[in-house]
Amino acid sequence: MNKFVFFLLLCLCATLPAAAQEHTGAIKGVVLTADRKPAAAVSVQLTARQLTVTTDEHGVFTFNKLEPGAYELVITLIGHEPVTQTVKVSAGKTTQSTISLNVANKQLKDVVITGRSDLRAVKEQAYTVTVIDATRLHNTTKDINQVLNHTTGVKIREEGGLGSNYYFSLNGFTGKQVKFFLDGIPMDNFGSSLSLNNLPINMAERIEVYKGVVPVNLGSDALGGAVNVVTNQKIKQYLDASYSFGSFNTHRASVNARYTTANGFVINANGFYNYSDNSYKIDVQIPDPQTGIYGNTVKIKRFHDAYHSSMGQIEAGFINKKFADKLLIGLIRSENRKEVQTGMNMDLVSGMVFNTSESLIPTFKYKKENFYFRGLSLTANANMSFVKSGITDTSSRMYDWYGNYTVKTFGSNSGEISYYKTKFRFNDRNAFASAILTYELNKQHVFSLSQNYTYARRKGEDPIAVDPIPFDIPNTLSKTITGLAYKYATLNNRLSATVFTKFFSMLARTVAAEWGTHEARKSSFDRTGYGIAAMYYLFPFAQLKTSYESTWRLPEGEEMFGNGLLLKNNPFLRPEHSHNLNVGIALTKTFNKHKLEGDLNYLYRKAGDFIRLESDGQISRYTNLDSVRTSGVEWGVRYTYNDAFTFEVNSTYQNTLNIKTYEQGIPNYIYWDRLPNMPYLFGSFDAGYKIKKAFFKHDVLSLTVGGNFVEKFYLFWPSQGSAGTKFIIPRQFTQDASVTYSLQNGKYNMAVECTNLSNTKIYDNFKLQKPARAFNVKLRYFFHK
């Protein structure tokens, strides 16, 4: 079927009429290094069109179908001085151009220039996307989650300190409804030791946040958007090593390195280590052991909340060869261990419960432009993940917040948190494979075909289980997602539009095991989605964007399987469907030393069979909610003066309502209620000032401050209960500040940061208090050539 679709795609390309050539011209050039050798992978920008191409292995680049006139080319390559050249184009002719590069003295400047070019290219897509330049944050102690929490439309809620569970929300969608990628590869099957709250910011060059509509090249069934963490692929040789330490005995270290030989052989190595006692103080009311009556609030230090995680990755292969632009084979090894201090709230205290995870992931990456013939490119990725996870709750102790405990005499078969003691272990075997074919007929017509396959298998055991567990028999889930897209752009790139369709298929084999039952189930789904994304430049500095998608998201393995302890399985879970609409405007204007950027977006989401996490005491389960509607507005403004002072502020309002009118023929009593336990109004700000040559010729001193605001919201349905008894998550405003000092053009760096500057009592989930004021120091060494 897919081969037939691709054959039809190529036939369609061949029948498209070519534009008349006699009225336009072209530029064809070759870029040479200082020793007169062809320079591959050089960025060549046509400034009038804001188009960027990359030279091939022979150093050749081409711009076709240009109106007669003079054009400015900007040529950049890491480690070389940028070159600006003016080329005159005549009708019916191809202008030849030769550009020679010179080795740069200030290599760091070249890195920044190239990175900004990539950022601009992503921002100018028709999709509603926010792009974060991660390179300017490499000296901070933030992880990727903390960086994303300052992005419009994004709210990340954590249960506690380092390594705690977190809930990612994007424009009203949460959890698995938003997909996460590392260089375009889904992170679904990587295990808990490889997640956004573990990845150090130094691994990323930029972070792309797609809202609503997701491009087919990501090959995903994301319902509400996607986050793609893009690592640096351009620097041929570098070493980036950092270490930070701070409050609550927190230590974080990371190393990222690459070595490339003259013949294109490359080795990548990455690793990180995180540890924290998470021994911050919280405010609790402790009940009297005799009467059970709660006393006054006291400050208590958490005593069983330590966390550590580590990861090592090695890749080896070739770049810029005839058989591949990139061919890498790699291996990832990661693990973590998390002590569990509480259940869903702080009323229940544990002192011996913990969970673990270990992952082993072989990987394969391949990319080739002009695959078999000019204009056709292929990108292929594959990996297997072997994940071992465990949950241990075998104690008969009952702890209080002082660390004291008594041994249960009644109900001694129950654990501290779980209903029965457990030593649950499960083995996940996951597979992923994707292929993306892109055919560029010319700059006006581009076709894409993507295929994405995932397979998840979970089998587990619990030697002390009382009842049957869901994983005696393996639970399996396989998904196939096919995308087909066509992009049209005008010659001057003022207007572009992409239409696409996606095909979703799923087969699940699960086991319902609860209260003594043990029933095998099989379910399958096949769905089709479609959409469009378009953009138009009103002015060179003002871009209109709109996108719409009717899409599906198939349940994930964890949602259907559960985790064997507090997250129960739901083999009856159905796919969710959503209509997503975005309309917005993006502005970028430079006035001498002043640069102003801004965006304003309206969002609309209407979802059916909405999958959400529901809790009942300590136990939770993913369930379907029939009809949900989200509408809202988000905006952001960024001002820069002379590349020294920056100020950025953003805000998001999203109103997510239950719009199901009847429940089994009876009027729904929570109709038109806002979904509980979900922030609806939040925002952030960041300001920084950079002093160049503060003490020496090649040093930089940076001062930054930032803040986060979240309006109060209800824990349960707003219409339930009386006004005085409703539980709320209170309004919160937190601030942070940092000082960073860099020497020798960023080779040596040191940062001192303070989070929760005002020492505010903060919650992201009901009664689960987050860390108080904390200080961290980071040391970083960065070398490249």
Share of the chain above pLDDT 70, in %: 93
CB 625 within 8 A of CB 574: no
Q: Give 239's pLDDT tier (boundaries 50, 70, 90).
A: very high
pLDDT reading at 615 higher than 80:
no
Entry pTM: 0.82
In 495-592, where do the E strands start and end? 495-512, 519-539, 542-553, 567-568, 576-591
Which amino acid is present at 662?
Y
Residue 152, pLDDT > 50, answer yes
Fold: same for 26-105 and 113-784: no
Q: Which helix (H) or strand (E) holds 9?
A: helix 2-15
Indicate if the pLDDT at residue 113 is higher than 50: no
**Mean pLDDT of all residues in 276-299:** 86
Kindly tell me if the per-residue pLDDT of 540 is higher than 90: no
DSSP 175: G
- pLDDT on residue 580: 94
Secondary structure of residue 418 in the 3-state scheme: coil
Average pLDDT, the chain: 87
Tell me how long the chain is.
785
Percentage, residues of the chain above pLDDT 90: 49
- Is pLDDT larger for residue 748 or for residue 115? 748
702: nearest Cα among 780, 650, 595? 780
Q: Mean pLDDT throughout 159-173?
A: 88
Q: Based on C-alpha coordinates, what's the Rg of the chain?
A: 27
Residue 127, number of CB atoms within 10 A of its CB: 23
pLDDT: which is higher, 235 or 270: 270
In angstroms, rounded to a whole number, what is the distance separating the alpha carbons of residues 348 and 589?
54
pLDDT at residue 411, as a whole number: 59
Write out the E strands in 394-518.
397-399, 405-407, 422-440, 445-461, 475-489, 495-512
> Given pLDDT bands bounded at 50, 70 and 90, which one contains residue 455?
very high
End-to-end CA, the chain:
47
Q: Hey, which residues does 383 pair with through a beta bridge?
A: 363, 432
Mean pLDDT of 501-524: 80
Residue 705 has pLDDT above 70, yes or no: yes
Query: What pLDDT is attached to residue 106?
Result: 43
Contact 452, 421 (CB under 8 A): no
* Assigned CATH topology for domain 113-784: Maltoporin; Chain A (2.40.170)
Residue 103 has φ and ψ, to the nearest 5°, of -65, 135
The label of the residue with tokens 């336990």 reads: 677
Position 177, amino acid:
Q
d(CA 556, CA 571): 11
Reply yes or no on whether the pLDDT at 566 is more than 80.
Answer: no
Cβ contacts of 371-375, under 8 Å, gap ≥ 24: 371/437, 375/439, 375/440, 375/441
β-pairing verdict for 422-440 and 185-186: unpaired
Question: Residue 634's closest CA among 655, 611, 654, 606?
Answer: 654
Asked if pLDDT for residue 243 goes beyond 80, the answer is yes
Q: Which residue has the higher pLDDT, 400 or 561?
A: 400
Query: Residue 452: its pLDDT value, please?
Result: 94
Give the CATH superfamily of 26-105.
Carboxypeptidase-like, regulatory domain (2.60.40.1120)
Q: Are strands 619-641 and 567-568 parallel, antiparallel or unpaired?
A: parallel
DSSP labels, 199-256: SBGGG-SEEEEEESS--GGG----SSEEEEEE---S-SSEEEEEEEEEGGGEEEEEEE
Rounded distance between C-alpha atoms, residue 300 and residue 396, angstroms: 23
pLDDT above 70 (res 626): yes
Per-residue model confidence (pLDDT) at position 766: 67
Where are the domains positioned within the chain? Answer: 26-105, 113-784
- Residue 776 DSSP SS3: strand
- Cα–Cα distance for residue pair 779/501, rounded to 1 Å: 48
Which residues pair with residue 455 across a beta bridge?
A: 431, 478
Q: What is the pLDDT of residue 777?
A: 97
Residue 762: Cβ within 10 Å count:
18
